[in-house]
Amino acid sequence: MFKLSRYIRPYWKAALLAPLLMLLEVYMDLLQPKLMADIVNHGVASGDLAYIQRTGLLMLGVALIGLIGGAGCTIFSSMASQSFGTDLRADLFHKMQTFSFRNLDRFKAGSLITRLTGDVVQVQTLVQMTLRVLVRAPFLAIGGVIMAFIISPRLALILAASVPVLFLVLFILIRLSQPLFVQVQQRLDGVNTVLQENLSGIRVVKAFVRASFEKSRFGKANRDYTEIALKAARTLAINMPVMTFIMNVILIAVLWYGGAENWNGSLPVGDLIAFLNYVTQVLTSLLSVGMMMMFVSRARASADRINEVFEAEPEITDKADASVSAIHSGEVVFDRVSFAYGEDRGELALRDVSFTARPGQKLAILGATGSGKSSLVHLIPRLYDPTEGRVLIDGTDVRDIALEHLRSRTGIVLQQAILFSGTIRENIRYGRPDASQEEMESAARAAEIHDFIAGLPDGYDTLLGQRGVNLSGGQKQRISIARALLVRPAILILDDSTSAVDLATEARIQKALKEQMSRSTCLLIAQRISSVIDADNIIVLEDGHIAAQGTHAELMRSSTVYRDIYKSQQGKEEVIHGG
């Protein structure tokens, strides 16, 4: 919790005014029972109506001042806590943006969403409650005890003896609840993960009629969360009845002995009423502290989860002397590269891969699913770092190049086309927000998507739904290609980015790419040999290593694997055309 206290420091004025105004309200609340005792002892006992009216008006004034203090505390505590939460969320989001793919593999998207939303809200609410309840309750309890001793030291001993019992109960309940709240947030991660997967893959769910299976999967995650949440709630529920029971026992004891003292004439009835009010204030305050401590326990679990994100070291960072001008022509060299996913660096996805892709050349990568094609191209813009070996661009190891420079000079169209809610214009200009209309349209024409966009009622200002839901797969792929082309990269990576496009459109895209990116290094992952038949070099990957490489003609002569792929695809195409 203390590690996050730095987020409240910029708002120290509001954080200071809130408790000061709360102390004003507490002082006014402590005056009320004393004024009430004066009305009973001096006004009612002697029948002095004027005294009753004067003291009553004074009580009303005191109540109004307390109201001002309480309202002011609420306003300033809200300002401080909301600003605290805003800055914390912003920094947490910024931290997540620095994570490598390996970091994201560790935390999972569902967990990060929970930490950015639910956990931040828990801590933010704690800040507001600290500035209000944790100021009001302790000072009201202390003030109430002092006033109770002033009225009757003998009766106050009953109160003093009960306070340690209350604190012991609180301590036990907090120790029991802390581990449960950690589990509650972890189970909530599970619910969010299943929900996110289901919503992002809803088309697959419907296509395979797996709604019942997904309901069952979500139901299990939901039940697991509910079970631990109920267990935590039961622990919390013990707090209120136990504290209420102790409070009622204390009130009965005070009435018992206080009534006897009043009967003996040593304690006026007004003082007895005031004493009961102070005892009620003290016990209610301690009850509030108890509830607050339970909330602190829960917020602490959330704070630990937030700090876990802040303390995670991004695996891919810039070196102190990283180059910001290393990339000129875009030559890519893989020098005995091996790579494995996972922190244990176990089974290799790539093994001893070496090749060179020169500027102006188109290098194609073929291979079965799981052969390591996407893993290979992810190493170029340092989405991952190689486990062994080096990836060089223009003779410089990518680990020695500043990330911003490296990625700004690398255009990549991932296997799954990702678009953002907003206009088509904003999506194409994502990498170059300052690009002109002419440049944007040129990139769109090269990607064979300009005519489609121009035919829309709002053209480039057409709004896209979440993840481009109102576009077909091929349209999303072509917009993604236009987005990559607009940045004029030295290295262009197309990761099976035309799989949803027909052969004729793909051929036109390839022709346009050859014209517009003639000086760039182009790496193309494809499933269809027809897409790469004119490539300057074709690499055939098999189980993470290079099985063969060369031109189409060379591979047809020398590679059995390549010939088998070619024959199988030619057969399929003949069936398709013949049908």
The domain locations on the chain are: 2-311, 325-409+492-497+521-579, 412-488
Q: What is the pLDDT of residue 577?
A: 38
The pLDDT confidence band at residue 260, using thresholds 50, 70 and 90, is confident
Q: How many CB atoms are closer than 10 A to CB 246?
A: 18
Give the integer Cα–Cα distance in Å for 361 and 536: 6
Go through 334-350 and write b for each residue having 16 or more CB atoms within 10 A of its CB, e for each that does not.
beebbbbbeeeeeebbb
The pLDDT confidence band at residue 78, using thresholds 50, 70 and 90, is very high
Q: What is the pLDDT of residue 571?
A: 55
What integer is the mean pLDDT of 20-48?
Answer: 87
**Cα-to-chain-centroid distance, residue 290:** 30
Check residue 115 and report its DSSP letter: I
In the chain, the amino acid numbered 426 is E
DSSP strand pairing (388-393 vs 422-423): unpaired
**Helix (H) or strand (E) run with residue 522 in it:** strand 521-525
Contact status, residue 417 vs residue 480, Cβ threshold 8 Å: yes
Give the integer Cα–Cα distance in Å for 211 and 217: 10
Percent of the chain past pLDDT 90, that is, above it, reads 30
Give the integer Cα–Cα distance in Å for 441 and 447: 10
Give the homologous superfamily in CATH for domain 325-409+492-497+521-579.
Answer: P-loop containing nucleotide triphosphate hydrolases (3.40.50.300)
Judged against a pLDDT cut of 50, whether residue 466 lies above it is answered with yes
Give the integer Cα–Cα distance in Å for 435 and 491: 19
Which residues have CB under 8 Å from 310's CB, separation 6+?
Answer: 3, 91, 92, 95
Q: Which residue has the tokens 């090749």?
A: 355
- DSSP helix/strand/coil, 531: helix
The class (CATH top level) of 412-488 is alpha beta
How many Cα atoms occupy the beta-carbon half-sphere of 211 within 13 Å? 4
Q: Which residue has the tokens 């004729």?
A: 504
At 342-355, the pLDDT tens digits run: 665 568 889 999 99
Q: What is the pLDDT of residue 73?
A: 93
Residue 434 has which token pair? Answer: 């300052």
Give the integer Cα–Cα distance in Å for 160 and 144: 11
Give the integer Cα–Cα distance in Å for 210 and 207: 8
Judged against a pLDDT cut of 80, whether residue 105 lies above it is answered with no
- With both helix axes pointing from N to C terminus, report the angle between 269-311 and 120-151 in degrees, rounded to the nearest 10: 160
What integer is the mean pLDDT of 33-53?
Answer: 84
Contact status, residue 162 vs residue 246, Cβ threshold 8 Å: yes
Q: What is the pLDDT of residue 575?
A: 36
**Alpha-carbon distances, residue 209 vs 19, 197, 206, 212, 472 (angstroms):** 57, 16, 5, 8, 21
Contact status, residue 338 vs residue 387, Cβ threshold 8 Å: yes
What integer is the mean pLDDT of 548-561?
Answer: 90
Q: What is the pLDDT of residue 334?
A: 94
- Cβ-in-10-Å burial (0-12, 13-18, 19+) of 521 comes to buried
What integer is the mean pLDDT of 76-97?
Answer: 93
The pLDDT confidence band at residue 190, using thresholds 50, 70 and 90, is confident
Q: 412-488: same fold as 325-409+492-497+521-579?
A: yes
What integer is the mean pLDDT of 480-507?
Answer: 84
Q: What is the pLDDT of residue 253?
A: 84
Which residues have CB under 8 Å from 238's CB, separation 6+?
Answer: 173
Judged against a pLDDT cut of 60, whether residue 146 lies above it is answered with yes
The more confident residue out of 407 and 570 is: 407
Q: What is the pLDDT of residue 356?
A: 93
Which residues have CB under 8 Å from 186's CB, separation 6+?
Answer: none
The more confident residue out of 220 and 513 is: 220
Give the integer Cα–Cα distance in Å for 152 and 267: 8
At 379-407, the pLDDT tens digits run: 999 988 999 999 999 999 999 999 999 99
Q: Which residue has the tokens 């943006």?
A: 97
Beta bridge partners of 525: 365, 495
Which residues have CB under 8 Å from 151's CB, separation 6+?
Answer: 37, 267, 271, 274, 275, 278
Q: What is the pLDDT of residue 344?
A: 59
What integer is the mean pLDDT of 79-96?
Answer: 93
Go through 151-160 and write b for each residue having 16 or more CB atoms within 10 A of its CB, e for each that does not.
bbeebbebbe
Domain with residues 2-311, CATH architecture = Up-down Bundle (1.20)
Nearest to 514 by CA among 506, 503, 522: 522
Q: What is the pLDDT of residue 13?
A: 93
Average pLDDT value for the chain: 85
Q: What is the pLDDT of residue 283?
A: 80
Contact status, residue 356 vs residue 337, Cβ threshold 8 Å: no
Q: What is the pLDDT of residue 574?
A: 41
Give the integer Cα–Cα distance in Å for 351 and 355: 13
Judged against a pLDDT cut of 60, whether residue 363 lies above it is answered with yes
